[in-house]
Structure 1
Amino acid sequence: MKMINLVNRAGVFTLILLFVFQSCSSNNDGGGDDAPVSAAPTNLSVQVEVVGKTAENPNGDGSGKIQLTMNAANATSYKVSINNELKEVTTGSLTYEFTGSGTQTFPIIVSAYNGGKFISSSTSVTIYIARKVIWSDEFNVDGAPDSSKWGYNTGTGNGWGNNELQYYTNRSENVKIEGGVLKITAIKENYLGSQYTSTRMLTKGKFSFKYGRAEVRAKLPAGGGTWPAFWLLGDNIDTAGWPACGEIDILESVGNNPNVIHSSLHSPGRSGNTPDTKTTTAPNSTTEFHIYAAEWSAENIKFYVDDNLFYTYKNSSTTPFNQKFFIILNFAMGGNFGGAVDPNFTNATYEVDYVRVYN
């Protein structure tokens, strides 16, 4: 919906950190004539233990966890550069859990400090990270959606930037869970000045994530003018605005062009008619459930229907797609993308079996 090379990256980050460390040393060493002189740390040793490592599983048990043990003479604290994060500890011990999935090698830089003096050492770890669900809604309890997971945008939103025709509500007539399925229903009715009602639900303020796989298993509504969607929006939309916050459209489809699935990205200079878009088909999308998913990393965003890859977007540090995003499910009517509504339309339902987010 419009609304709105690991090594290379690690190398750049390492240079930045070393610059910071050197700056600290230069700035803090010169205390006056009476300042006590601290002894520089020496003999730094670093041990990396991969949790669950065995002969059968040399890269660990899939938890993604490591235990770092650091020791240096005269050290009072340690700084660890790992996975583009900087951790500071005083005990010489650090437990770290990697996110993402698959088997990857990560560089690690450890610096031991005593005042402004330090010594550094580098190593690396190869670790297997199993894919696991970090958030989901299976919609297994009849009634209203779980308020701890979902909120709502209500009203007309001035057409939500797309000249849409619906009024969004959180009424049970428009949104409910029934028989293990979330049902968002658009209805033709006069309601507070609008010709149609429907629902737009979102996890803003309740759940957001950076990188991973997001997927929905859904059956799409039928009828000219229908426009269901499953998408992600940048957490900073309230301060950065749209499209600076970024938008990742995993699923969009319109009833006037059935079974065609659109996946798109919106960002500054690539907003309304974004060139960052591809389509594929999902046969019988209004009568059968399909899985629509995106796998998102710092390097790329890959879009799938039923695990068939059809679009890969090359991500980079210059895009907005390197921060936390929240989830939106909605069903719009008409508008710039939805098009003309069938005059015989009375109602249609967007059915969602589950929404899942993986590391």
Structure 2
Amino acid sequence: MAAALFGAAPSATPAAAQQAPAQQAPAQQAPAQQAVAQQTAAHPVAAAQSWGDDFDGPAGAAVDPAKWTVETGGSGNGNHELQYYTAGAANAALDGQGHLVITARRNTDAGLGCWYGTCQYTSARLNTARTFAQAYGHFESRIKIPRGQGIWPAFWMLGNDIGTVNWPNSGEIDVMENIGREPGTVHGTIHGPGYSGAGGIGAPYSLPAGQAFADDFHVFAVDWSPSALTWSVDGRAYQTRTPADLGGDRWVFDHPFFVILNLAVGGDWPGSPDGSSAFPQTMVVDYVHATTSGTDPLPYTGRITGPGGMCVDVAGASSADRTPIQLHNCTGNAAQQWTVGLDGTVRALGKCLDVDAASHSDGAVIQLYTCNGTGAQQWSYGAGHDLVNTGSGKCLDSPNGSSADGTRLQLWTCNGTPAQRWTLG
């Protein structure tokens, strides 16, 4: 996690995972990718659940050991964290109402030692390293996070080969982390060889109008395919990462990862609690679910239809650069045969669906152009049947919802209307 890399948890974690570099706030790279805010998560996944925990059980019970390993220790986890992670139900217990409650509190045991001396705080960290790991799919948790300076909750994943290749070669996916001084903001980040620690690649998501995440439950998720990761909050995607974001570094998100939940106190990124920090603080987890990606509609080749059942069409069936894209009566010809790929491109006639001049402006022309790998040609097909240009965070749109033959398509702020609803097939 940018909230504590997989660090020193004696006896409860794989041996090779017990050393990790200090972690700082991840670099917020590729601003165009960050602009995917307020969109539906890409690549709808199968409804079939592959793993999950709804935390049903009596109040005070520990988590199911057939699903979770409870880590222990006060090593600082490579981040100079201040808490001691306790065993059993001392700091992680069911509430009898279908929730797991992870509690961070001030330590009263003078014999409990941390890396800096007597531990100031206790908390809990759980992982599925011994019970569940999966490559690709949809990973989701509904959480009400705590608040306060120095408080650091996280829902994240690590590659299951960490015991042999070590971090960051194993890869790390931070689905959600928050530092208490940012009550309305969470972060999603990836770490790997050449882009770890403070160089992690990620983006923040902020609630509108000064709202705080600690005030209510929110759903944090990542959709993971072989060539992309898309983060969402409450079903609204806010960033997509692909190998193109790595600047030539290795994409390591190609093997199973396991799940981690934890609540850290202090550390290099959030800093220590201060006089404004109140304890105890609780991270309340409603559920954690994982589903497979078996019904992902991509890759797809065929027609794309929009308003009035009209087809997305290359004007004049021309393959020349800058040929406008329009709506047209469906004819089945090559100008209406599109390939929506896992690489984020939408192609016809050997060229790519493109935003003219890589514009982020409403009304920008959508055209055909030689494929070049830029954000102007990266598209995400969402569960709401929108086509989001991930370079701008805006949607493929028919002006005023027109279904007239020859309507030229444009880029427009995503609004969920039929003017932006596209059907594959």
Instruction: Tell me the TM-score range normalised by the shorter chain.
Output: 0.5 to 0.7
- Whole-angstrom distance in 2 between the partners of 1:315 and 1:300: 7
Q: Which runs of 4+ in 1 moved over 3 A?
A: 315-318
Check whether the contact 2:157–2:259 (CA below 8 A) recurs between aligned residues.
yes
Match for residue 261 of structure 2 among 298, 315, 329? 329
Match of 1:252 in 2: 177
Residues 163, 335 of structure 1: 8 Å contact kept: yes
Residue 319 (structure 1) shift: 1.4
Gap runs ≥5 in structure 1:
5-100, 103-128
In the alignment, is residue 163 of structure 1 matched against residue 92 of structure 2?
Answer: no
Percent identical residues: 38
**Do residues 346 (structure 1) and 279 (structure 2) align?**
yes
Report 1:113-192 matches (<5 A): 130-142=46-58, 143-156=61-74, 158-178=75-95, 179-191=97-109, 192=112
Further displaced range: 335-344 or 251-260: 335-344
Q: Deviations over 1:264-315 (max 9, x none)?
A: 0110111111241100114331120000000001110000000111010004
Note if 1:195 corresponds to 2:120: yes
Residue 120 of structure 2 aligns to a residue whose secondary structure is strand
**What residue identity is the alignment partner of 1:280?**
Y
CA shift, 1:256, in A, is 1.3
Aligned AA (2:137) = G
CA contact (8 A) 2:52 2:290 kept: yes
* 2:121 alignment partner AA: Y
What CA distance in whole angstroms lies between the structure 2 residues aligned with 1:318 and 1:162? Answer: 24
Q: Secondary structure at the match of 1:273?
A: helix
> If the length of structure 2 is used for normalisation, what is the TM-score?
0.54
Aligned partner letter, 1:252: E
CA contact (8 A) 2:127 2:258 kept: yes
* Cα distance change on mapping 1:130 and 1:172 into 2, 3 Å: closer
- 1:310 alignment counterpart: 238
Tell whether the 8 Å contact from 2:105 to 2:121 is kept in structure 1 after alignment.
yes
Q: Give the length in aligned residue pairs.
A: 237
**Secondary structure of 1:146's partner?**
coil
**C-alpha distance in 1 between matches for 2:279 and 2:217:** 22
Distance change >3 Å, CA 327–CA 130, structure 1 → 2:
closer
TM-score, scaled to structure 1: 0.63
Report if aligned partners of 2:192, 2:250 keep a CA contact under 8 Å in 1: no
Gaps of 5+ in 2: 7-42, 113-117, 293-425
Deviation string, structure 1 residues 91-114 (Cα, Å, up to 9, x no partner): xxxxxxxxxx76xxxxxxxxxxxx
Amino acid at match of 1:321: F
1:136-168 deviations in whole A, cap 9, x for unaligned?
100111211111000022101x21010000000
More strand by proportion, 1 or 2?
1
